[in-house]
Amino acid sequence: MSHILHRQFVHSYPVAVAGDGPYVIDAKGQRYLDASGGAAVSCLGHSHKSVVEAIKAQLDRLPYTHSGFFTNEPAEALAEHLVTRAPEGLGKVYFLSGGSEANETALKLARSYWVEKGEPQRVHFISRRQSYHGNTLATLSIGGNRGRRAVYEPLLMPSTQIAPCYPYREKWPEEQDLDYGLRAADELEAAIRRLGPETVIGFVAETVVGATAGALAPVPGYLKRIREICDRYGVLLILDEVMSGMGRTGYLFACAEDGISPDLLTCAKGLGAGYQPIGACLISGEIVETLAGGSGSFQHGFTYIGHPTACAGGLAVQHAIEREGLLERVRTQGAALRAALEARFGNHRYIGDIRGRGLFLALELVEDRASKAPFDPQYKLHARVKAEAMARGLMCYPSGGTADGVRGDHVLLAPPFIISDGQIEELVEKLAAALDAAFPAAA
Ligand code: PMP
């Protein structure tokens, strides 16, 4: 009997005991192809030797120091690695233990910036429906995952939300990508004007939406317009790349593909690839200089900031990505996986959309392709898909649709960057079998 409080109280999970490249192995010897990297974390698979060695070496040298007393070599080296590859203007890094802490930090840095600028009346964040930024009360406040918010509602601070960039459901049939992107982005301008630009701290968005809607990538022009609107009204742009960053889309920073730089950028999962818990917030020179020229400090902090062992793990992961040419590999294997998904599911009666970037892909499941009507949430299709996939030795990341039809169930795929052609075939075969078993029998 497990003494752990699991997320699903009544669920009995297999006991994971070992990793082998892109596979996880349980105590009964069953192998699972990790087609979702857990939750888009394990980008190097589960047994990368150079990362394990680097972590062991750091443990031998110095496992931990507190950031109130020292900086440390791995943290400095990882910060330099990130800053020298980051979108223009992001000159400093703040290390955390995960994605929620990174976003919480970004929100507080943004608020501190305006206080130091002498504009304390700026109190509003604008974010998007169909978004997830973390599980703390502040990050839930700006997040758009209604299920996760509901219980905590009276405690959450108010936030204003606009539509996500969701062409499958929101683009008019006659519209070009660029027109749709501009129309969707202009919702931000309308929200800023409604609230009063002088009261808005910043706009927060996932560069590519992950868990709440399944690999929703911005159409060309959308993020450029968002950047222009933020600049026009002096509103900070905060991009959450906790899931989509660190190479998952084929670019170290996903927004590089859109040709823009945010004022604050967060990353986590792929940064440590699951070998260590680590997240980061990258900060613009303008924000740093404003804080430095004002109070000279940032009222914030956690015990494990810049944890040496976590940073050594993160640095080894990033070195492996460069040494092994894995960004390029994400682009080629991403294109191969996408082509295989399209060949297998492009005409499937229950699959409405196949989308994403790089090795960050998703299928949206619908009961009716013509009307795009989702399955009844009572049917719990996403849970059935997960169970059927696990029974066949496949990990994928399905999430539920909404009762009001705003979105369908979807399956998120985020396999390790090292996935081979043969493993892509295995993934698609097992997924097809799991979906067939999970879908209602054809009438
Ligand atoms: N932002 C995004 C986009 C995420 O996908 C997640 C995790 N799913 C988080 C933030 C929160 O990260 P963590 O669970 O590491 O706190």
pLDDT digits (tens, 9 = 90+) for 36-85: 999 999 999 999 999 999 999 999 999 999 999 999 999 999 999 999 99
Pocket test for ligand 1, best of 132, 238, 264 (most atoms within 8 A of CB): 132
> Which of ligand 1's atoms lies nearest the C-alpha of 99?
12
- Reading phi first (left if > 0) and then psi (alpha if -120 to 50, else beta), residue 199 is in alpha
> Which of ligand 1's atoms lies nearest the C-alpha of 277?
15
Calpha distance 221→419 (Å, rounded) = 31
Tell me which amino acid residue 224 is: K
Do residues 229 and 315 both lie within one domain?
yes
Do residues 76 and 33 both lie within one domain?
no
Calpha distance 50→418 (Å, rounded) = 14
pLDDT at 7: 74
Calpha distance 437→431 (Å, rounded) = 10
Domain boundary at 266, 301, 323, which? 323
Crossing angle of helices 326-345 and 308-323, rounded to 10°:
70
Pocket test for ligand 1, best of 269, 302, 304, 410 (most atoms within 8 A of CB): 269
Do residues 62 and 72 both lie within one domain?
yes
Q: Is residue 118 part of a domain?
A: yes
> Which of ligand 1's atoms lies nearest the C-alpha of 39?
8
pLDDT at 2: 81
Using an 8 Å Cβ cutoff, are 105 and 306 in contact?
Answer: no
Looking up tokens 């059935």 gives 384
Which residue, by CA, sits nearest to atom 12 of ligand 1? 99
Which residue, by CA, sits nearest to atom 14 of ligand 1? 99
Q: Is residue 314 part of a domain?
A: yes
66: helix, coil or strand? coil
Calpha distance 421→425 (Å, rounded) = 6
Distance from Cα 230 to the centre of ligand 1, integer Å: 24
Give the CATH number for residue 41: 3.90.1150.10
Looking up tokens 């030797």 gives 49
Q: Is residue 396 part of a domain?
A: yes
Structural domain count of the chain: 2
Do residues 357 and 287 both lie within one domain?
no
Residue 434 lies in domain: 16-47+325-438
Q: Ligand 1 pocket: which residues have CB below 6 Å?
A: 39, 98-100, 103, 132-134, 206, 210-211, 240, 242-243, 268
Calpha distance 200→194 (Å, rounded) = 10
Annotate 294-321 with b (16+ C-beta within 10 A) or e (fewer).
eeeebeeeeebbbbbbbbbbbbbbbbbb
Domain boundary at 323, 346, 362, which? 323
Give the CATH number for residue 288: 3.40.640.10
Distance from Cα 243 to the centre of ligand 1, integer Å: 7
> Which of ligand 1's atoms lies nearest the C-alpha of 103?
10
Do residues 186 and 244 both lie within one domain?
yes
Q: Is residue 1 part of a domain?
A: no
> Which of ligand 1's atoms lies nearest the C-alpha of 241?
3
pLDDT at 401: 85
pLDDT at 442: 66
Spans of the chain, pLDDT less than 50? none
CA proximity to 362, closest of 214, 232, 237: 214
Do residues 197 and 219 both lie within one domain?
yes
User: Other CB atoms closer than 10 Å to residue 44's CB: what's the count?
Assistant: 27
Do residues 168 and 277 both lie within one domain?
yes
Calpha distance 270→279 (Å, rounded) = 9
Take residue 149 and report the two structure tokens written for it.
């918010």
> Which of ligand 1's atoms lies nearest the C-alpha of 134?
11
Do residues 308 and 352 both lie within one domain?
no
Q: Is residue 4 part of a domain?
A: no
pLDDT at 10: 66
Distance from Cα 100 to the centre of ligand 1, integer Å: 6
> Which of ligand 1's atoms lies nearest the C-alpha of 209?
3
Q: How far is CA 432 from CA 90, 278, 334, 406, in A?
A: 42, 34, 18, 25
CA dihedral 433, 435, 438, 442 (to 10 degrees): -90
Distance from Cα 334 to the centre of ligand 1, integer Å: 22
Do residues 110 and 237 both lie within one domain?
yes
Domain boundary at 304, 323, 342, which? 323
DSSP at 258: G
Using an 8 Å Cβ cutoff, are 32 and 26 in contact?
Answer: yes
Q: Is residue 399 part of a domain?
A: yes
Do residues 281 and 149 both lie within one domain?
yes
Here the ipTM equals 0.99
Do residues 155 and 268 both lie within one domain?
yes
Pocket test for ligand 1, best of 100, 255, 281, 410 (most atoms within 8 A of CB): 100
Containing 92, the helix (H) or strand (E) segment is strand 90-96
Calpha distance 315→57 (Å, rounded) = 13
One DSSP character per residue, 282-329 reads EEEHHHHHHHHHTTSS-S---TTTT-HHHHHHHHHHHHHHHHTTHHHH
Q: How far is CA 132 from CA 96, 406, 431, in A?
A: 18, 16, 25
Distance from Cα 98 to the centre of ligand 1, integer Å: 7
144: helix, coil or strand? coil
Calpha distance 83→282 (Å, rounded) = 8
Looking up tokens 């330099």 gives 80
Take residue 276 and report the two structure tokens written for it.
């260590």
* pTM greater than 0.90 (yes/no): yes
